[in-house]
Structure 1
Amino acid sequence: MKKGRRNRKSLVFFSILLILIIAGCSTSQGAHQIEKEKEPNFDQGSGMIFSSLSEQKIVDLAKLSKVWGVVKYYHPKVVSGDKNWDYELFRVMPSILEDHSDVNSILYEWVHTLGNKSVSGDLEQQYQFSEDSIQLSPTTDWSNDEEYLGTDLSLELSMILESNIAERKQAFVSFNDESPFPIIHNENPYNRMKFDDTGYRLLGLFRYWNIIEYYYPYKDVIGEDWDQVLLEFIPKMIDGSDYDSYLMTLAELTTRVHDSHVNLMGKNRESIIEYFGTYRLPVNFVEINNQIVISTLFNECGLEVGDIVLKVGDNSIDELLEDRRKYISQSRDDTSRDFFNALFRTHQKNMDVTVIRQGKTINISATSNLQEINYFVDTKSQAMENGEIFYINAGLLEEGEIDNIMKKWWDTKGLIVDLRNYPSSALDYKLAQYLIPSEKEFAKVSFPNRAVPGEYYFEPLTSGKLQDTDGEVYKGKVVILINEHTISNGEFTTMLLRKTESSIVLGRPTAGADGNVFRITLPGNIITKISGIGVFDPEKKPTQRIGVQPDIHLDPTIEGIMEGRDEYVERAVELIKDGY
């Protein structure tokens, strides 16, 4: 019975997953706000403004954040929407900040007053998962540490952690019906936040930290001690007193999850990249052998294709890279669309750029402009090699075009599927129907257990069955092109299509940010995003921060770039003509 229920749910899960991943968009955030109890004394501010703390008080505030997070996601009175848990934070924080305060006793009394009679330890069978199917477990062992919390508080939290609440429609993180995707539409954006208000600034930090703690499927691969990140950012957050310092501290915080799905939009929906300048050099670039090489010119600006950039203005290219990476999250150092858009942004229209051009170091007076840059490969889908090969540009496909292509070019010697662009229409399952004759597991995804915040469980994904091809599959070779711009649905599509028996994946590792996008609202009406569900290979190995690996690695060359050649397509054609 348990297995039957799980399978029926899986059909719903996979349908929703496909829609979201193909769309490449985040779950929409509704306007609904929970009608929690009113606290007029906090409507105009928390009443706390301070700019320095002792080491002990930093530790105490970190403990407050962790306890606040457990109660926020586990306690029935908070999950039900009966308590304005943000305001409760402001209510207890002054006591925590007092010198020589008994923090454990204060926190115990604070939590205990919520009551625990409604806390149930029963977990519904549908939310019980075998040890083998658990991808991630809550990191709440600290709640059992009586030396850290004291006996009373430790026992209180341990009991709350057994609440196992599946009904979460009024919770800060909720779920729609049978959908496995978490959504946040009950967080107050606090549009009128005063940015010198230390309480609200810390609320922004605590809210984000706990979302990653309980609703981030890749917390175990971020490569950071998340507890230490909290301790590090408490003094950083209280150090500023204006909007810019708040926004940039949040930006720096988001980089610590190392996720190329992350971006940050300010209160006026300005992108974080705008803080690096209004102007931008009208070029694309590529990293080759740890060098930044100009790969495309959109306008005459003084630079040339093939230039190796050494310095921009007063900053070396290494200083520029380090500065951008401080505020723009990347799964890997060679990825992130925001990073590529921000690197050559400037506040000045003209700037000096030092480059290596044909072996000589020269200084260029370069001209920037207001043009937005894209990284699309703009080669149209077309027949090549006298019709023996058909090239498919995933980023330029129209809805339904795959069916027409496969019917017309069914007898070709090979297909080149270019996933260096983000797919513009349904490609993954649609093309797989022509290439893969039967269901094959190509990935495992992990979803949050709605009854146990912090726990994620695996579900398998299989390829679609064949349709409209009389039981036949395409007999030609299939070469899939990927690089560092292949992200999310492009990575998902690569994992699926490489299950084709005669396929080869060619290029560079993908971005390492797979799955849908989870939208987060922070105080001050700041919006950010993270990867929302986990995507793994069938053996449960992660793709996050690693990327989908090519079968044949190929780096572009400076010579090829200068000659205007697409070395990826050239190599793919060679492979197909040679029969691999």
Structure 2
Amino acid sequence: MSARPIRSSEWAVYEIVAPVADDATSLTVGFLLNGAGPGWIDSASLEIVPTSPADEADGQPLSAREVNNLTAFAKLYGYVRWFSPYSEPNDARWDQIASDGAVAASRAESPQALATTLRTWFEPMAPDLVISLQPNTPNPERGPTGELDLVRWRHEGVEFANPAYRSERVSAERLETWQAGLGSGLFVSLPLAAPRTALSSEARPDALQTAQQAGNDRATRLGATIIAWNVFRHFYPYFEDDGENWERDLGNRLVNAAEASEPAAFRIVLQSMVADLHDGHGDVGPETDDYRLPLLWQWIENALVVTAVARDSDDGIGVGDVIVAIDGRPVEELLRNESALVSASTDAHRFWRAAEALRSWQTNRPMTIRVEGADKVQRDVQLTPVASMRLSGLLEENRPAPVTWFPQGTWYFDLTRLDDRRLDEALRQVRPDQPVIFDLRGYPHGVKADFLGHLTSEPVDTPPFRIAVVELPEMRDRHWKTVGWDVAPTLPRLRGRVAFLTDERAISYSETLLAMVRGHDLAEIVGEPTAGVNGNVNPFNLPGSHQIVWTGMKVVNHDGSDLAGSGVQPTVPVSATIAGIRQRRDEVLEQGIEVVIQSGDTALASPQGDMLQRAPR
């Protein structure tokens, strides 16, 4: 239910359809209440529902007729679920409609039979739906209809579990109809507004029966693909062509889903779909890899370079070694394959996510890693993936302590390893004229933006967060609701020079902070461009226990330019080098120190935070 929260105070029927393990001894049902308030359950029932019959065609290629039928079904599904005034978009039955309805539609042997099948599945959710074999005559605009108390759907983003997005019925000024071709010789006419009094469950038919879906049968895969495709078709905020290319690719995605009879193969189908969004938040869950290689690496100077090894590791791999192959497969080939499944708006962030994926494995089987050292000699070493929890505290980059005073005359605060309390304590040690370096090479989990108030005498606002307001399918005539927040000036004002360090690992909230810095000229930004994705994610669940994570709003820079595809740009570009990694140097930090000190030779060989933790008095 997390993807379809109950927000109404009216009594209504809700149901959960889920598989039960053969050895289960009890079922527990309860509320998860966000905030304070009571909740009631009445007339609860438990029913064993039939399992959908096995599909003998599972895994077989689709015929051209089946592809056309499924395309028509998929398009109609999105129109009705999110835009028919009679529909409840978060009704649990929509999963079944997507899955079993798709299979039924695929079997129709003529346009007439397909039209009948579509009516069977969709009229219970849209009783005034018209499906015909010829284009519909455009409806003239109706006269005054205020006495009808019309309502229609209005989506701010689209409502799943994240409260930043909302779908609600709102008053409609006129009767309006959506008309479109579905393919397969069919056309749809769908009223987008209806009298409020016609929306009660008693006023419309309810002919659909629930069936339990298998975990990875063809119906479940087709249903999951149709749901995900439609969410993005109607609500993804970053399509530059209004989704035309997305529309053209629907048939291929359905073909791939039908043939992906193994769970791992279908996961790749979903990953490929999300990758085509170029959304750095985009991901497919749940995660299936429980083990990690006990090292860190990054793509540096067109090579995969080891940047850290676990403290208790003696596997023969050292910092600065270049990874050549894993189990005999060239690392370039592995990264190319992983990159094809990574969603990212910039190449640098895509390579970083692909490299991280190569560290993750489903088993702890020993692996043969071919590496090349500074001497250009290649050697094979055995490396065993380790349970992720065992690496906690054992695997860290070459960085100073989170709070460090360097004798060159500057403070260093690593925002990715501090929380508000520790940062506040650290900032109280800073004299107003002392330089400060903030490290944002990654994600700050426990730091609010309030600290930026020390860098300004005026309020600092976020970049514009734009939520698409959608009332028509296919993002037609959408407009934007802009939201954001401010940071107020805070005393004492830091008047020394300030620099922020960053790279392609800085994503989302990191980019909010850096965009505020860049947009208001609060400090220099040293390093490489950020990931190029910001805005609240809006996860949703699919049949088959998959979850999709994606960005539900569009964020631009303060000047209106695109963040996606470029990221927040550094004011002082600098990149790590293989030579620097081998010498245990942090070249980005070195440049940051030079920027804030503006004095002679500030190169540091592995600066250590424990050498000085407080400023001289």
TM-score by length of 1: 0.75
Correspondence for 2:358: 343
Distance in 1, Cα, partners of 2:275 & 2:573: 28
Alignment of 1:186-265 (within 5 A): 193-195=213-215, 197-220=217-240, 225-265=245-285
Q: Contact between 1:42 and 1:87, CA under 8 Å: does it hold in 2?
A: no
Shift in Å, 1:313: 1.5
Q: What SS class does the counterpart of residue 194 from structure 1 fall into?
A: coil
Any idea what the Cα deviations from partners look like across 1:71-106, whole Å, max 9, x if unmatched?
A: 100112212767933444434752442233337744
Amino acid in structure 2 at the alignment position of 1:312: I
Cα distance in 2 for partners of 1:367, 1:191 equals: 46
What is the aligned residue count?
A: 502
Which residue identity does 1:44 align to in structure 2?
T
Return the alpha-carbon distance in structure 2 between the equivalents of residues 570 and 224 of structure 1: 47
For residue 66 of structure 1, the aligned residue among 75, 98, 121 is 75
Return the index of the structure with the highest Cα Rg.
Answer: 2
Q: Kindly provide the CA deviation profile for residues 456-480 of structure 1, in whole angstroms up to 9, marking residues without a partner as x.
A: 51415354222444xxx32111101
Q: 1:35 is matched with which residue?
A: 13
Question: Is 1:306–1:357's contact at 8 Å kept on the other side of the alignment?
Answer: yes
Alignment check: 8 A CA contact 1:352 1:364 kept: yes
1:53 equivalenced with 2:69 (yes/no): no
Match 2:560 to one of 515, 526, 540: 540
| 1:283 is the counterpart of 2:295 | yes
Q: Secondary structure at the match of 1:65?
A: helix
Instruction: Return the letter of the residue paired with 2:239.
Output: K
* In structure 2, distance between residues paired with 1:163 and 1:363: 71
Task: Report % sequence identity.
Answer: 19
CA 1:262–1:272: 2 relative to 1, 3 Å: farther
Tell me what 2:336 maps to: 322
Counterpart contact for 2:84–2:153, Cα < 8 Å: no
1:416 Cα deviation (Å)?
Answer: 0.6
Partner of 1:360: 376
- In structure 2, relative to structure 1, the CA distance for the partners of 1:242 and 1:371 (3 Å cut) is closer
Unaligned runs of 5+ in 1: 1-26, 128-142, 171-189
Is 2:400 the partner of 1:379? yes
SS of the residue 2:550 aligns to? strand
Amino acid at match of 2:325: K
Structure 2 match to 1:466: 489
Q: Which residue number corresponds to residue 107 of structure 2?
A: 97
CA shift at 1:554, angstroms? 0.9
CA RMSD of aligned residues (A): 3.9
Q: Match of 1:437?
A: 457
Residue type of the alignment partner of 2:419 = E
Over 3 Å counting, the alpha-carbon distance change for 1:385 and 1:376 in structure 2 is: closer
Partner amino acid, structure 2, of 1:409: V
3-state SS of the aligned residue for 2:273? helix
* In structure 2, distance between residues paired with 1:458 and 1:382: 39
Distance 2:465 2:260 in 1: 40
* Higher deviation after alignment, 319-328 or 28-37: 28-37
**Distance in 2 separating the partners of 1:433 and 1:562:** 38
What is the aligned counterpart of 1:394 among 411, 415, 421? Answer: 415
CA distance in structure 2 between the aligned counterparts of 1:108 and 1:448, rounded to whole angstroms: 29
The answer as to whether partners of 2:70 and 2:105 remain within 8 angstroms in 1 is no
Contact 2:469 2:481 in 1 (8 A): no
Deviation of 1:378 after TM superposition, in Å, equals 4.8
Equivalent residues of 2:320, 2:578 under 8 A apart? yes
Q: Evaluate the alpha carbon distance shift between residue 313 and residue 261 of structure 1 in structure 2; reply closer, same or farther with a 3 A threshold.
A: same
**Bigger share in helix:** 1
Q: Which moved more, 1:253-262 or 1:95-104?
A: 95-104
The alignment partner of 1:490 has SS state of: helix
Q: Which has the higher contact order (CA 8 A, sep 6+)?
A: 1
Please tell me whether the aligned partners of residues 46 and 200 of structure 1 are also in contact (alpha carbons under 8 angstroms).
no
The question of whether the paired residues in 2 share the 8 Å contact of 1:52 and 1:238 is answered with yes
Paired residues of 1:436 and 1:499 also in contact (CA < 8 A):
no
More moved, 455-464 vs 393-402: 455-464
Q: Is the 8 A contact 2:155 2:469 kept in 1?
A: no
CA contact (8 A) 2:155 2:470 kept: no
Tell me how far 1:256 sits from its aligned partner: 2.2
Q: Which amino acid aligns with 2:529?
A: P
3-state SS in 2 of match to 1:244: helix
Alpha-carbon distance between aligned partners in 1 of 2:90 and 2:442, rounded to the nearest angstrom: 43
CA distance in 1 between counterparts of 2:408 and 2:195 reads: 60
**Matched residue of 1:512: which SS?**
coil
